[in-house]
Amino acid sequence: MGRSLTVSPAPLDLHALVAGIVDELRMAFAQRLIVHVAQGVRECFADADRGAQLLGNLVSNAMAYGEGAGVVTIVSAVEGQRANLSVHNRGTPIPEELQGSLFEPMVRGDPPGAGGPRSVGLGLFIVRAIAQAHAGDVSVGCCRFG
């Protein structure tokens, strides 16, 4: 903490990277359905290892805090100079009062004493650091489906 994260961007097929990571995640979370949706062109300029770390942290978080039997959908999208990764899960929406601080170190999304998954609260902080090291950002977006 206190030091910026380093990245080594290079030309990258984002959809192929995400597809490979999704295959690994399906083995780790065999009881859950993980769907990958690829949108737009394939090529972007990013650090593949840090992208894998970012996606792994987001999916782990989705598995820990989402609906136990719900589908987790990962969308990789490239449009122009912008690459986007998003992870969608079903479950109780994150309260608005927590959304602004979720990407801070040592912050967790469950209320104290809720008995949720045990973690120190660094996963989403690392996600934000990786996004920012790529001149990007991260945010929470809540969507309700059916």
pLDDT score of 121: 73
pLDDT score of 106: 67
Residue 69 maps to which CATH number?
3.30.565.10
Q: Which domain holds residue 87?
A: 10-133
Residue pLDDT, tens place only, 46-95: 999 999 999 999 999 899 888 888 899 999 999 988 899 999 998 888 88
Using the predicted structure, report yes or no on whether residue 140 has a pLDDT greater than 50. Answer: yes
pLDDT score of 3: 61
Residue 75 lies in a domain: yes
Residue 74 lies in a domain: yes
pLDDT score of 11: 96
Count of the separate structural domains present in the chain:
1
Please say whether the beta carbons of 15 and 40 come within 8 A. Answer: no
The phi-psi region of residue 39 (left if phi > 0; otherwise alpha if psi is between -120 and 50; otherwise beta) is beta
pLDDT score of 101: 79
Using the predicted structure, report yes or no on whether residue 35 has a pLDDT greater than 90. Answer: yes
